């Protein structure tokens, strides 16, 4: 057994002269769940196809468990790697069970037939994916999501040390999407390897220990989700403004994307607490503004968002009033800013923070994030430009 | 295994049907012969090797020792000699040729439908029938002498050659294979043969060969009638030598197709998925194409262009036994044999004999329309 399940060196693939992947180097260890993420057309599917040897690269080598994929027969590749395609074109009404049985093809000799091992593998794969309930229905009569699970069952029945998945959750409801990824996670926890192209960044962050960020035919970043995903990498690869934080429910990376605005970055201080202020901080941070917040109570959602985005913040211990030093620190941050945003109605004790010489915009708690962006952009130029939910002071 | 048991069970039932259809058909005609009498005639004709006899043969100045196998018939039922001659010389060669040709066309049709992942495909889709037609029509219009007298040492002067009918079959066979190979060559680039390209190349070549056939018909003059009869499919000129040639060609090709039945199932998933499941896709496609082209060519060379057998029989059997080629292929082939024997019996039992291709089309086209209007093909 080689150290790496899959090793890719200097891989270049082009279709009709247009490069789709260029100079890709990637090594995938045994027992890891790797999420391939990237915008549409980044080359994720091409990378998966190159790994299983169905396209011939222009340059570079791909090794599967130590052997170059080009030196392996189709049958040998089929015993090492199973793949779950996005969809299948099967237009003949085979029963679901027969489609899953086809996963055993690389293990059966030309003149042989299914033995007890094959039957067991097929049954276990069908139970694991929950397709045994409709095992005798024709594949042409099951829904798109059920079909996706049949394809997963087929790949599991193949009994390979590695699994490639192309958008395994794309056609599934949220329940089956989670169950599918849990199943793959379990497969990896048993020591096998999975590589999945996943569009849902949060799902990828939640289930994969390694994220490979692909864009423009190149690998832009490889590492744990928390290291790979940040505002800058999402902006660079997806051309979207995003706030990258922690999902309070799962603790895994949460990515909230917004349309690109092409904002001119400014130094902004935000005063406020609770979810409305957190929304303002997320949106302004995603747009690329240089933010500070405070004072905020320790444990408030705004404090959490500030920590996620690594922003300077003045923190007050829970259930305490802001004391003199807190107010002084906040005033310093506000005075250094180009714009101060005040969300809701701050306590009287924060008057000094709200009334610095810096242009200040007051925002009601039910604001539209786009209006906050507009207010920041125009705070010191044209006071009348603010929308009805935003009041200048 | 379940699949093997189902395949054997269905095949046994359809083989029994084929035997029944053959026996009944041999009794039908201007002279009615009861099925029991037909069976007795056929059993009487069966021979088994009974021993070896040494002899000698005078060849010029030398006397050559020879060994010959002696056959004897285990049965000796009393039968009417006229009935014996009608069954053995007139009806049986034609019926057996129909059975073998129907078997070959239905097998090839099943494989082509799986290969193209399209239940509307048929054996002629890669140009085999058109190529056979050009070969046959060309030979009819521009007869070439295929006879020669060759002087061989020791044996003396020997006439070698083929009859006109055999010449038509030979040229049809060569034309069929040339057309299929041409379509394959047009559609193959860098060792890969995409099925969509193959389909379109097949359509283009068929269209071109259609023009050639039309031109040859214009030039045909006296022989036009024979051309039309050939193009419509005919079994009336069947001889025991035709039966022998097809019986030697068809079974080995069918076994090749049967060995690849499981690969054909997996190919239905799409080529990329089949490759991922360990199928050497391009090699498997070449083998399937070559065996299908040969088995179709063997059929059409002796029977002319007979449509719809290769289209509707696989379709009908798929409705009955399901899409698994390990079961579908043998059952469709056997059913194809029965169907063509029945259609040919109908063709010859009317007042004036009609080409069997007219019967298969007249039965097949309405069934095809029924399929188009039913849910079975809406998924495509």
Partner-chain residue, chosen from A73, A105, A111, that has the shortest CB–CB distance to B266:
A105
pLDDT (tens digit, 9 = 90+) per residue, A323-339?
888 888 888 888 888 88
Is A77 close to B276, i.e. CB distance below 8 A? yes
Q: What local confidence, expressed as pLDDT, does residue B287 receive?
A: 94
Partner-chain residue, chosen from B269, B280, B318, that has the shortest CB–CB distance to A74:
B280
Give one DSSP letter per residue of B161-198, joined into a string.
---HHHHHHHHHHHHHHHHHHHHHHHH-BTTB--HHHH
Whole-number Cα distances in Å, B343 to A107, A122, B234, B332, B358 = 44, 44, 11, 16, 9
Whole-number Cα distances in Å, A316 to A210, A302, A348 = 36, 12, 16
- The C-alpha of A67 sits at a distance from chain B's nearest C-alpha, in angstroms, of 16
| Structure confidence at residue B60 as a pLDDT band (50, 70, 90) | low
Instruction: Give SS3 for A58.
Output: coil
| Structure confidence at residue B380 as a pLDDT band (50, 70, 90) | very low
Is B277 close to A98, i.e. CB distance below 8 A? no
Q: B8 pLDDT exceeds 90? A: yes
Is B1 close to A114, i.e. CB distance below 8 A? yes
Q: What local confidence, expressed as pLDDT, does residue A230 receive?
A: 82
Q: What local confidence, expressed as pLDDT, does residue B16 receive?
A: 96
Residue of B nearest to A160 (CA): B277
Report the Cα B375 to chain-centroid distance in Å. Answer: 31
Report the Cα B285 to chain-centroid distance in Å. Answer: 21
User: Can you list the domains of chain A with their CATH numbers?
Assistant: 4-234 (3.40.50.300), 267-392 (3.40.50.20)
Partner-chain residue, chosen from B114, B118, B275, that has the shortest CB–CB distance to A74:
B275
Q: What local confidence, expressed as pLDDT, does residue A99 receive?
A: 92
Residue of A nearest to B324 (CA): A94
What phi and psi values does residue B165 have, to the nearest 5 degrees? -60, -45
pLDDT (tens digit, 9 = 90+) per residue, A286-326?
888 888 987 888 888 888 888 888 888 888 888 888 888 88
**What is the signed CA dihedral for A81, A157, A150, A55, rounded to 10 degrees?**
20
Least confident interval from A376-385, B4-13, B50-59, B119-128? A376-385
- The C-alpha of A40 sits at a distance from chain B's nearest C-alpha, in angstroms, of 21
- The C-alpha of A105 sits at a distance from chain B's nearest C-alpha, in angstroms, of 6
Q: What local confidence, expressed as pLDDT, does residue A388 receive?
A: 44
Q: What local confidence, expressed as pLDDT, does residue A249 receive?
A: 81
Please report residues of A whose CB lies closer than 8 A to that of B4.
113
| Structure confidence at residue B21 as a pLDDT band (50, 70, 90) | very high
- Number of Cβ within 10 Å of residue A48's Cβ equals 23
pLDDT (tens digit, 9 = 90+) per residue, B139-155?
888 766 566 566 666 66
pLDDT (tens digit, 9 = 90+) per residue, A8-27?
999 899 887 788 888 889 99
- The C-alpha of B114 sits at a distance from chain A's nearest C-alpha, in angstroms, of 9
Is B324 close to A89, i.e. CB distance below 8 A? no
Residue-wise burial string across B186-208, b where 16 or more C-beta atoms lie within 10 A, e elsewhere: bbbeeeebebeebbebbeebbee
> Which one, of B228, B205, B233, lies nearest residue B309 by Cα?
B233
Angle at A249 between CA A246 and CA A252, to 5 degrees: 40
Q: List, as own/partner pairs, every contact residues A295-302 make where C-beta atoms lie below 8 angstroms and the sequence separation is at least 24, other chains included.
A: A295/A271, A295/A322, A295/A326, A295/A327, A295/A329, A295/A330, A295/A350, A295/A353, A297/A273, A300/A273, A300/A274, A301/A274, A301/A275, A302/A270, A302/A272, A302/A273, A302/A274, A302/A277, A302/A278
Instruction: Give SS3 for A355.
Output: coil
Which is more confident, B82 or A388? B82
- The C-alpha of B298 sits at a distance from chain A's nearest C-alpha, in angstroms, of 26
Q: B164 pLDDT exceeds 90? A: no
Is A93 close to B380, i.e. CB distance below 8 A? no
Helix (H) or strand (E) holding B247: helix B240-259
Q: What local confidence, expressed as pLDDT, does residue B378 receive?
A: 42
Whole-number Cα distances in Å, B237 to A259, A380, B334 = 78, 102, 23
| Structure confidence at residue B159 as a pLDDT band (50, 70, 90) | low
- The C-alpha of A316 sits at a distance from chain B's nearest C-alpha, in angstroms, of 59
Contact present, A183 and A128 (Cβ < 8 Å): yes
- Rounded Cα distance between B17 and B273, Å, is 38
Binning chain B into helix, strand and coil, the percentages to the nearest 5 are 70, 10, 20
Partner-chain residue, chosen from A75, A85, A94, that has the shortest CB–CB distance to B278:
A75
> Which one, of B272, B263, B356, lies nearest residue B308 by Cα?
B356
Q: Where are the alpha helices (DSSP H) in B46-121?
A: 81-85, 92-115
Q: Considering the entire predicted model, what is its pTM?
A: 0.81
Is A83 close to B3, i.e. CB distance below 8 A? no
Q: What local confidence, expressed as pLDDT, does residue B379 receive?
A: 44
Mutate to test the interface with A, among B278, B314, B317 (most CBs of A within 10 A): B278
pLDDT (tens digit, 9 = 90+) per residue, B201-234?
999 999 999 999 999 988 888 888 888 888 888 7
Report the Cα B380 to chain-centroid distance in Å. Answer: 28
User: Can you list the domains of chain B with their CATH numbers?
Assistant: 2-377 (1.10.3470.10)
Average pLDDT, chain B: 86
Classify residue B67 as exposed, middle or buried by CB count within 10 Å of its CB (0-12, 13-18, 19+). Answer: exposed
Q: Where are the alpha helices (DSSP H) in B46-163?
A: 81-85, 92-115, 128-141
Checking ipTM against 0.90, whether it exceeds it is no
- Rounded Cα distance between B298 and A46, Å, is 43
> Which one, of B140, B86, B92, B126, lies nearest residue B295 by Cα?
B126
Is A102 close to B277, i.e. CB distance below 8 A? yes
- Number of Cβ within 10 Å of residue A89's Cβ equals 12
**A279 HSE (CA, 13 A, CB side):** 15
Please identify every stretch of chain A with a pLDDT value under 50, giving residue numbers as ranges. 382-389, 391-393
């Amino acid at each position: 057994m080689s150290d790496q399940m899959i090793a890719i060196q200097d891989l270049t693939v082009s279709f009709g002269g247009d490069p789709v992947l260029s100079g890709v180097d990637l090594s995938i260890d045994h027992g890891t769940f790797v999420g391939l993420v990237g915008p549409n057309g980044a080359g994720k599917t091409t990378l998966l196809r190159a790994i299983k040897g169905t396209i011939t690269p222009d340059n570079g080598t791909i090794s599967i468990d130590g052997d170059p994929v080009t030196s392996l027969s189709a049958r040998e590749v089929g015993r090492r790697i199973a793949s779950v395609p996005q969809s299948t074109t099967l237009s003949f009404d085979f029963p679901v069970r027969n489609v899953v049985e086809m996963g055993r093809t690389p293990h059966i000799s030309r003149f042989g037939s299914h033995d007890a091992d094959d039957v067991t593998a097929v049954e276990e794969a069908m139970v694991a994916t929950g397709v045994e309930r409709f095992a005798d229905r024709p594949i042409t009569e099951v829904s798109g999501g059920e079909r996706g699970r049949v394809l997963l069952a087929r790949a599991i029945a193949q009994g390979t040390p590695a699994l490639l998945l192309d958008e395994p959750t794309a056609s599934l409801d949220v329940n089956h999407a989670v169950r599918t990824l849990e199943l793959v996670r379990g497969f990896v926890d048993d020591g096998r390897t999975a590589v999945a192209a996943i569009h849902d960044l949060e799902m990828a962050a939640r289930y994969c220990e390694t994220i490979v960020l692909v864009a423009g035919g190149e690998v832009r970043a490889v590492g744990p989700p928390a290291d790979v995903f940040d505002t800058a990498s999402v902006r660079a690869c997806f051309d979207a403004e995003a706030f990258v934080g922690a999902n309070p429910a799962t603790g895994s990376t949460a990515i909230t994307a917004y349309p690109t605005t092409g904002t001119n970055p400014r130094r902004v201080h935000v005063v406020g607490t609770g979810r409305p202020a957190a929304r303002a901080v997320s949106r302004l941070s995603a747009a690329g503004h240089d933010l500070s917040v405070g004072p905020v109570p320790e444990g408030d959602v705004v404090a959490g968002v500030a920590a996620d985005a690594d922003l300077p913040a003045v923190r007050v211990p829970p259930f305490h009033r802001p004391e003199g030093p807190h107010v002084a620190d906040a005033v310093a941050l506000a005075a250094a800013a180009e714009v101060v945003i005040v969300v809701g109605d701050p306590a009287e004790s924060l008057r000094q923070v709200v009334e610095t010489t810096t242009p200040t915009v007051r925002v009601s708690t039910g604001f539209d994030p786009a209006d906050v962006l507009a207010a920041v952009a125009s705070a010191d130029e044209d006071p009348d430009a603010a929308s009805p939910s935003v009041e200048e002071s | 295994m379940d699949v093997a048991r189902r395949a054997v069970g269905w095949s046994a039932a359809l083989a029994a049907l084929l035997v029944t259809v053959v026996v009944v058909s041999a009794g039908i005609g201007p002279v009615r012969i009861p099925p029991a009498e037909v069976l007795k005639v056929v059993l009487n004709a069966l021979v088994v090797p009974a021993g070896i006899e040494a002899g000698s043969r005078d060849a010029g100045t030398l006397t050559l020792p020879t060994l010959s196998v002696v056959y004897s018939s285990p049965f000796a039922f009393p039968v009417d000699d006229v009935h014996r001659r009608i069954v053995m010389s007139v009806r049986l060669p034609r019926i057996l040729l129909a059975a073998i040709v129907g078997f070959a066309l239905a097998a090839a049709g099943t494989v082509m439908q799986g290969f193209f992942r399209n239940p509307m495909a048929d054996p002629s889709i890669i140009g085999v029938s058109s190529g056979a037609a050009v070969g046959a029509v060309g030979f009819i219009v521009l007869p070439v002498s295929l006879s020669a007298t060759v002087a061989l040492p020791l044996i003396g002067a020997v006439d070698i050659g083929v009859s006109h009918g055999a010449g038509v079959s030979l040229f049809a066979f060569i034309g069929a294979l040339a057309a299929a190979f041409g379509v394959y060559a047009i559609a193959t680039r860098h060792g890969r043969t995409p099925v969509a390209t193959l389909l379109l190349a097949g359509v283009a070549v068929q269209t071109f060969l259609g023009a050639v056939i039309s031109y040859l018909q214009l030039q045909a003059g006296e022989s036009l009638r024979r051309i039309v009869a050939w193009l419509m499919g005919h079994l009336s000129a069947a001889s025991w030598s035709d039966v022998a040639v097809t019986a030697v060609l068809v079974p080995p090709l069918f076994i090749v197709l049967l060995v690849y039945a499981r690969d054909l199932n997996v190919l239905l998933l799409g080529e990329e998925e089949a490759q991922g499941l360990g199928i050497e896709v391009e090699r498997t496609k070449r083998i399937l194409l070559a065996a299908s082209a040969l088995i179709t060519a063997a059929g059409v060379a002796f029977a002319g262009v007979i449509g719809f057998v290769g289209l509707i029989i696989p379709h009908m059997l798929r409705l009955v036994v399901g899409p698994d080629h390990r079961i579908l292929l043998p059952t469709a082939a056997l059913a194809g044999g029965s169907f063509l024997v029945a259609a040919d019996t109908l063709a010859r039992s009317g007042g004036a004999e009609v080409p069997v291709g007219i019967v298969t089309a007249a039965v097949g086209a309405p069934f095809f329309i029924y399929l188009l209007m039913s849910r079975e093909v809406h998924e495509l």
